[in-house]
Amino acid sequence: MSQTHILRLDSVVKRFGGLTAVNGVSLAIAEGEFFTIVGPSGSGKTTLLRMLAGMDTPSSGDILLRGERINDMPANQRPTCMVFQSLALFPHRTVGQNIEFALKIRGVDAATRKARALELMAQLRLPADYYGKSVTKCSGGERQRVALARSLAYDPAILFFDEPLSAIDYKLRKTLEKELKDIHRETGKTFVYITHSLEEAMVMSDRIGVMCAGEMVQVGTPDEIYTAPRTRFVSEFMGDVNVVPVRLGPDGRLHSDDPPSVFKAPTLPEGFARGHLVVRPESMRFVERAEQADNHVAGRLYNEYALGSRIQYQVRVGERVFIVERLRQQAFAGRLDDAVLIGWDAANSLVVGD
């Protein structure tokens, strides 16, 4: 993937009256990158996407496309295209007519339009005889492909996706996640994708930007975001996690009041005094003796959940619940309400701020 930046944001702000929906976001997206913006409802991700697509104008800051400032450039003059959650297909038109629509508006002749539509249908695994099929008779997955083909028809530089898979059932969504990633690789286009789904972001993205309260709080690869979150918010948003409030003691170890414990510290941020110890469930294990792990806590096995190839165990330690995850073939033999000892190594944990 090229590292040339196709899209850059410099301190972009969007206000609606007294509400600041996007607050000083700076970001650079590489040509050909699959970049996903995630965040809870109200985090500002859709407002940011609308500014990138030309549907809203920033209150301040700049958006640059290949170095050109495009803050005030209308959406229909930008070399970009949006794929909406609703897909916005024309129900009274055929598959071919939907795909060709943008080309027809631009005055492309009928023969060229049809050739381009059939080319895209083949690329997106839509049978050629669907060209004359009513789009209302297509399945959900087929309609998704038609919408994507229509977006690709006039060869945009960037495709924006506004939660296009959120209304689709789980099995089809998993199939389309893989197909979108394949299509991204085949076309070499820049994809900017909005979702509230951690799973979608982790499966498809080259990089992920996490938004909270209008700010881009962390940007990185899926592995970086998952294994090295910078804040408690990011660590908890990116999947199940064990979080314990801690402070640094004069002994160089981490002290916790809930549960009352002292832990061997991982590498600490400079100037760290207090924050949160974060341990992913797969980094925790059941141990027989305290010396089998750098850190340990004693509790009771409260519950277990089968998650396909994995099993999650809940362990109550006082009022706090810890999550331990194991592969199904390595299932823990304990019974509910058994007293258990769980542990983890300092190197498999990290400390973050609020």
Q: What is the pLDDT of residue 180?
A: 86
Given a cut of 70, the residues of the chain with pLDDT beneath it are: 1-3, 85-86, 167
Nearby residues of 62 by Cβ (< 8 Å), 6 or more positions away: 8, 9, 10, 11, 12, 69, 71
What is the reported pLDDT for 265?
86
113: helix, strand or coil: helix
Q: Tell me what pLDDT residue 175 has.
A: 81
Model confidence, pTM: 0.87
Count of all residues that appear for the chain in the document: 354
User: Which pLDDT score is estimated for 3?
Assistant: 63
- 9 in the Ramachandran plot: left (φ > 0), alpha (ψ -120 to 50) or beta? beta
pLDDT 10s digits, 303-317? 999 998 999 999 999
Cα–Cα nearest to 148, from 52, 79, 84: 84
Exposure class string for 163-199: b at 16+ Cβ within 10 A, else e: bbbeebeeeebeebbebbbebbeebebbbbbbbbebe
- Give Cα 256 to chain centroid, integer Å: 32
Q: Name all domains of the chain by residue range, CATH numbers in brackets.
A: 5-227 (3.40.50.300), 240-352 (2.40.50.100)
The pLDDT, as a whole number, for residue 86 is 67
- What tens digit of pLDDT does each residue of 6-48 get? 999 999 999 999 999 999 999 999 999 999 999 999 999 999 9
Beta bridge partners of 218: 210
Residue of 206, 163, 218, 217 whose CA lies nearest to 181: 206
